[in-house]
Chains A and B, each alone.
Chain A
Amino acid sequence: MDLPLSIVETLAGTEAETLRSRLRCLAGLLVRLPPIRGTAVILFDDEGAPLTSGMCSLLLREDASELEILSELQKSIERRLTEGAWLELEASRICRNEDGEIKALPVRRGKAMVGLVLAACAPGAEGAADSLQEIAAAGPFLATALHSCRQQEAWTRIERLQELARETLTPQPWDFQSMVAQLCHLFEAGAVSMLLEEQRELRLSVSTDPDLSATGPVIYGPGEGLTGHVFQSGKALRLSNSNDPDEVFQATGLHRAGPRFSERDSMGAPTVQFLGVPMRFGDKVVGVLRMSRRRGVAQFTEGDQKALQFFADVLGAALAPARDLLLEQRILESITEGIAVSRWEKDENGNFLSRIIMANPGAEKLLGRSRHEIEGLNAGEIYAPGEYERIRGELGPAREAARSAGHAEHGPILTKLKRADQSLVPVSISYRLLANRLVQPATLYTIGLARETSPAELQAQRLLDLLGAMKIAYFRADTAGITQASTPMDCAITGYSAEELQVTPRTRLYTAPAARDQLLSRARESNGHLPRVLVQMKRKTGEVFWGEGDLRILNDAEGREIGSEGLYRDVTDRIRLQGFVTAETDRVLTDSELFNKLEKQEELQLDYLSSLSHQLLTPLGSLIETLRNFERGEISPKRMEQRLPYVIGQAVVCTRLVRNLSYMDTILRGEPFKKERVSLARLAIETKLDFLHLLDDKRLDIRIDDASIERHVHAQGHQEMLRQVVVNLIDNAIKYSLPSTTITVRGRRWSDGEALEISNHGLPLSAEEREGIFQRGFRTKGAQALVPHGTGLGLWLVRKIVEAHGATIRCLEVFEDGKKRILFRLLFPHPAAVSRRSS
């Protein structure tokens, strides 16, 4: 066998993956030389310490660890290197399956010993000397082979580390937990941890030891402990026993009593061997990667250190830009904008506050303070009173977004900052919120980029203030109707907070879901601008209100629609007032229109009061004088008896007038009332009885078709209010009927509802008069000529009561028996139609 050639072929041909298995292949080759019956190939590291071994037919002692046995062997060999090629050793000191002697061949590369070969043969076996001679002659080839094994091992690990870096950094978010677990396996370490720089200190990012951060945040300042030393020096540190003060002092110059945070391996044993490497990017140290092993296992080698440093630098290169994105020093050097960075921290009382940790020259200029004075302040201290609380509230959603997505933007917000001299400076601030989720617990930064507001912006702000003072709200929304910006008045009117408005589609602010889209369509059709539109809206509480305003479509430079903006105010009171003055239009009246209406209203009120007093005094006067006639003996008891129905009739007239007043009050106030089943037939009959004296006087007849009313009309409502409706309609019919005619009252069923119809033959009404007859204060010329005491309120009140019941009333002209009759149709919609309408 050509041993040198076989060595080369064996190493080149082997598919063995681990160092130990490659060494085992070499040992297997040597054992084929007779009469050798057992071999071992031992590899030393680049510092000459035993690293590992491969054996063939030899079994190591079991009373000590492999490394202890090999270290002992190495020490005994080093003392006898001058004795020749093969050295004789006592086999039992190494093996458990050999006794007698065992031969050992140091393998050198240059002056350095790179390994050992052990060979066992039977004592005095033939050919043993030849075989041992052949192995010794192949010494340079063995040295090259061992060196190559070590190199190959290093390369294999580098390749694996490259792969690990790719596996770690490719997916988002980065999986550092899996990374440290794999590093631990690859380096046969007890524990691996990564710590990252943040604000000039190191914070734990991940560790294989789950208990490491159990007692609190793991933080190292520069130079604090071995990890802090690596961070500060930017150099790797390797210690065989970190609990040995002398070794620690020699390596670091530190007097160290013990570990700041005790790290343990997966078996729970404290790890004392230490290897820490800086994660570098250029001259920056981004973090520290460290590993540790328990006592009694192989020490970290220079190869380990180089491999880990390689990996740490790959990580550093990846993390440095992320760190720079967080706090870009160049941005902080900007002087055109005031920039302050604050970090959310817990104060001594456990409350969160936003502490300013960095400020730039621009911020110094804006705040009139030095950077040194600004840094360390609570962010609330640099704002005008009340502003920080407002902005902190507004930033809420952005903070949450940053916590889940890593970053968020908000603003710009117009606000005021407080200078050192307590003067206020108006600024526009854009906020960038960043969460560093690589450290435990994640930290949140707020970067404020403040610009002194321009005269135009100030003017805009003043305008907005003015609008606010005038109770006018402004909003800007995107195409989905989400509010992008709005004034505090928008919140005041709608009842939503600014945060809620930013997630609530503005369609919800309208009583009709399609109302906003319809308005936008109308605006598009009107060159993108819809002025003075009146619409029914809804507050957060569900309360309905009337909004009046301008709506404008927003387009970008290329004409694409990007949203809408509008100004509006709450005109509910005004609309109520318009309702009061009977001006229910689809717009808000101008002041002068409203003034005229109110003036007219006041005249009407006075007219009403005067005619009411007239109407009350007339029957009361009759009552008094009739009773006086009786008292003074002007009439006999018999005549008095005849007069009694009239006396009662006059009293009823007074009651009716006062009731009108009372229901008018209820209806005008819009007060709710209880509804019940009401028999309109009964009300009509009772009313007829009240009016008997008047009917006799004019020789009138009232014909009530109570059967048709009972059959067709199933009214639900307030009995006394509906009685007033019937009373006013019949009273009206009596006043304007020709003598010796008939008033008819009947029920009808129409396709759109159930109707009570009251008709009479008398004073004719034009179409225009029939239309206007239900307006307040409206009196036809004929009525004015005939009935001087009318108020023009009776039919208006009828309509108001009817509408409050969800019904309608119309005045029609019909022909019956060739005669024109005036017919009042009180229509209650069918229940299905009511529910459809209300839905």
Chain B
Amino acid sequence: MTETPRVLIVDDQIGDLLWLIDLIRNRGHDVVVATNEEAARERLRAVKTGTESYALAVVDVMVAVKDLARIAALDEQFFEDSRNSGIRLCQLARQDLEISDGQLPIACLTAREDDEVKNAMESLSIPLYHRAEYSSADSIRGFIEKYLPATGAGVAEK
């Protein structure tokens, strides 16, 4: 039995996750969710080592640094700001781990309009999509549809 191809979603917003999962599953892919930066780093390292592979990755630019339980347990006085956690993940993939676009296409999702995030993504040649775009072609939906053409089969609804 062939393993169902998977898509990695790095996001902690329940609203985002639900519609993305619905769309991706309908296109015959399974979904792996990382709700914080720490968990996402594990997945990217697994991609680098070849133990895991994904058809593509959708990364929220602002995602929690760690799992709440870890944050609560560590009780640290200083954590990295979660504001740029998605940027750090993309840099890890493209620069540190040297995962190519062919190996793992990545798209970023944000509500931010500032230059910091735009410049960072441009330098990494990673497409950046805004939330709540007027046209679906301009939204991250277009990116997903490009890589995951409709099969009509879908994944069994769970």
Contacts and interface: CB of A to CB of B under 8 A. Distances in A.
A, B from the same assembly = yes
B153 interface: no
B112 interface: yes
B16 A781 contact: no
B136 A628 contact: yes
A763 B74 CA distance: 10
Contacts of A649: 15
A629 B22 contact: yes
Interface in B119-150: 130-133, 136, 139, 141
A738 to B, nearest CB: 5
B82 A639 contact: no
Given A629-B23, A639-B22, A650-B15, A785 B72 contact: no
Contacts of B68: 736-739, 762-763, 786
Contacts of B81: 784-785, 788
Given A650-B15, A762-B72, A621 B111 contact: yes
Interface string A218-245: 0000000000000000000000000000
A628 B140 CA distance: 12
Interface string B57-98: 000001111101101100111111111010000000000000
Nearest to B132: A621
Interface in A770-826: 781-782, 784-789
A614 B62 contact: yes
A714 interface: no
Given A781-B78, A785-B64, A693 B14 contact: yes
Contacts of B80: 785
Nearest to A631: B136
A626 B19 contact: yes
Contacts of B20: 625
Contact of B15 (A622, A738, A781, A786): A622
A638 B154 CA distance: 15
Nearest to B157: A639
B21 to A, nearest CB: 10
A345 interface: no
A764 B114 CA distance: 32
B4 to A, nearest CB: 17
Nearest to A779: B81
A767 to B, nearest CB: 13
| Interface residue range, chain A | 35 or more
B13 interface: yes
Nearest to A615: B111
A808 B14 CA distance: 34
Contact of A781 (B76, B85, B111, B136): B76
A786 B18 contact: no
Contact of B64 (A635, A738, A787): A787
Contact of A621 (B16, B22, B23, B114): B16
Contact of B77 (A620, A625, A781, A786): A781
A635 B22 CA distance: 7
A503 to B, nearest CB: 63
A785 B71 contact: yes
A646 B79 contact: no
A619 B15 contact: yes
B26 A634 contact: yes
A614 B23 CA distance: 23
B79 A785 contact: yes
A369 B22 CA distance: 103
A626 B82 contact: no
B69 A738 contact: yes
B32 to A, nearest CB: 17
Contacts of A628: 19, 136, 141
B111 A625 contact: no
Contacts of B83: 784, 788
Contact of B71 (A626, A694, A786): A786
Contact of A636 (B15, B76, B157): B157
A152 interface: no
A737 B68 CA distance: 8
Nearest to A790: B82
B62 A789 contact: yes
A622 B18 CA distance: 8
A614 B15 contact: no
B36 to A, nearest CB: 8
A618 B65 contact: no
Contact of A618 (B16, B18, B66): B16
B78 A788 contact: no
Contacts of A787: 64, 82
A89 interface: no
Contacts of A639: 22, 157
Interface in A583-642: 610, 613-614, 617-626, 628-629, 634-636, 638-639
Given A625-B139, A787-B64, A788-B82, A617 B18 contact: no
Nearest to B84: A788
A643 interface: yes
A763 B112 contact: no
B139 to A, nearest CB: 7
Contacts of B65: 785-786
Given A618-B131, A694-B14, A788 B64 contact: yes
B64 to A, nearest CB: 5
Contacts of A614: 62, 111-112
Contact of B14 (A621, A697, A737): A697
A603 to B, nearest CB: 14
Contacts of A621: 15-16, 111, 131-133
Contacts of B141: 625, 628
Contacts of A781: 76-79
A820 to B, nearest CB: 10
A784 B112 contact: no
A623 to B, nearest CB: 7
Contacts of A738: 68-69, 72
Interface string A22-59: 00000000000000000000000000000000000000
Contacts of A617: 111, 130-132
A643 B26 CA distance: 15
Given A617-B132, A646-B14, A785 B19 contact: no
Contacts of A788: 62-64, 81-83, 85
A693 B77 CA distance: 31
A786 B76 contact: no
A738 B72 CA distance: 8
A764 B15 contact: no
A837 B9 CA distance: 57
A737 B71 CA distance: 11
B15 A623 contact: yes
Contacts of A763: 68, 71-72
A786 B14 contact: no
Given A619-B15, A763-B71, A788-B83, A635 B26 contact: yes
B64 A739 contact: no
Contacts of B114: 610
Given A762-B72, A781-B78, A785-B64, A610 B112 contact: yes
29 contacts: A610-B112, A610-B113, A614-B112, A622-B13, A622-B14, A622-B18, A625-B19, A625-B20, A626-B22, A628-B19, A629-B19, A629-B26, A634-B22, A650-B15, A694-B14, A697-B14, A738-B68, A738-B69, A739-B68, A764-B75, A784-B79, A784-B81, A785-B71, A786-B64, A786-B82, A787-B64, A788-B82, A788-B83, A788-B85
Closest 10 CB pairs of A and B: A622-B15, A621-B131, A785-B79, A788-B62, A621-B132, A788-B82, A617-B111, A614-B111, A785-B65, A625-B19
Interface of B: 13-16, 18-20, 22-23, 26, 62-66, 68-69, 71-72, 75-83, 85, 111-114, 130-133, 136, 139, 141, 157
Given A628-B141, A694-B14, 11 more contacts: A618-B13, A621-B131, A621-B133, A622-B13, A622-B18, A693-B14, A738-B72, A762-B72, A781-B79, A782-B76, A788-B82
